[in-house]
Amino acid sequence: MSFIPGIGIAKGMALTLLRFFQPKVTIRYPEVAADVSPKFRGRLQLLYDEWGTLKCETCFQCAQACPIECIDMGGTDTKGRYHVHWGAAETYGERRDESALRRSGRPVPDEAYSHDQPMNLEAVDAILAAYDHDPGSMLQILGDVQDTYGYLPVAALKRISTSTGAWYAMIYGTASYYRHLRFDPPGQSVGICRCTSCLISGGGRIQEALERGLRASLGKTPLSGGIRLEQLPNHVAGASSPLVMVAGEPVALTPETAEPWARGLAPQSGTRAQA
């Protein structure tokens, strides 16, 4: 390319001039999503009004919108209670897998999804009354609700939120942290121990073989059913290493036999589509 003196500054000025005459655009956020480049790396900043008060109303819309759930917030009102939060934060856990698929260009399964299925919540009310609607007993409340329903239904979480006054997003944050709490009905699962002596005797390679065989990653709920691979809470005293358990029974596996064994266990994706 031939060198013309001043071509760079001319190009730059031309772009500036072009922008000068373009109309200003106000996007009706959040109704219309802004067009953000995939390389965009934003910075979160809370703004203050002219009296120095935080403009943030802890509406949790940012926490709900964040695809990787990195935004979290907390706070109390003037009486020292938790803020009541009425948003629809329940959507973000489920939307996360979907959004990952959509961004990577893969097909998104079209599953009928309702975030608030009507259900009988009398049991939740009884549990809440037993714990005096105290958000400080949140773990016991969540544990008892899960014992009753087998999992934590969204409607139950919503009831807990409205009746204890704890934000839905805080309850969701608590429930999603603890490994024994789950948001969907329990399905078939394979448990693997990750204690140090299991890792030393080949547990890590068995885990990788099982992940390939089951097409599931440890601790993640597969998007469309299938067998889950879960971490056992602790090594069963007296059991041999490495330890893999199915329905409370240990299975003897080696890194070589684990993958074909898991393949035999997993429902074939083809048969599921026909069913």
Partner 1 sequence: MTTLLATPAGWPQILLARARKAAPVGSPGSATATGPFAGLRIAIERLGPEGTIRAIEQSGLRGRGGAGFPTGTKWRKAAATEASRRYVVANGYGADPAVSIDQVLMERDPFGLLEGVAIAAYAIGASEAVIAVRAEYAEAARGLEAAILAAEAAGFLGADILSSGVDLTVTVRTVQGAYMLGEETVLLKALEGKRGQPEQRPPHPAERGMFGQPTVVQNIATLIAVPWILVNGAEAWRAIGTPDAPGTVLVQVSGAAANGIAEVPTGTTLAQIIDLAGGVVPGRRVKAVLVGGPSGGLLPATALDTPYDFGPLRAAGAHVGSGSIVVADERTCVVDLARLLTAFCADEACGKTIPCRIGTRRIAEIGDRVTSGRPRPTDLQLLADLSHDVVASALCDHERLATLPYASAMRYFRSELDDHVLRSSCPAGVCRPIAVAGVAAGY
* Site for partner 1, rule CB under 8 A: 135-141, 170, 173-174, 177-181, 193-201, 203-205, 218-219, 231-235, 237-238
Nearer to partner 1, 12 or 233 (CB): 233
Would you state the structure tokens that stand for residue 275, as one six-digit string?
């069913």
CB of 135 to partner 1, least distance (A): 6
Nearest-10 crossing angle of helices 168-177, 138-149: 70
Residue where the block lists tokens 């597969």 = 222
Which C-beta is closer to partner 1: that of 204 or that of 250? 204
Smallest distance from the beta carbon of 222 to partner 1, in angstroms?
A: 17
The residue among 201 and 269 lying less far from partner 1, judged by its C-beta, is 201
Residue 211 or 261: which CB sits closer to partner 1?
211
Cα–Cα distance, 273 to 269 (Å, whole number): 7
How many residues would you count in the chain?
Answer: 275
Closest separation in Å from C-beta 210 to partner 1: 14
**For the packed helices 91-103 and 168-177, what is the interaxial angle rounded to 10 degrees?**
70
CA distance to 118, 219, 241, 267, per residue, from 244 (Å): 38, 14, 9, 19
* One-letter amino acid of 150: G
Query: What is the nearest approach in angstroms of partner 1 to the Cβ of residue 14?
Result: 41
Q: How far is the CB of 196 from partner 1 (least distance, A)?
A: 5
Least CB distance from residue 194 to partner 1, whole Å? 5
The alpha carbon of 38 is separated from its chain's Cα centroid by a whole number of angstroms, namely: 21
At residue 228, the 3 state secondary structure works out as: strand
Q: Which is nearer to partner 1, 84 or 138 (CB)?
A: 138
Nearer to partner 1, 113 or 178 (CB): 178
What is the token pair recorded at 75? 């706070």
Distance CA 132, CA 160 (A): 12
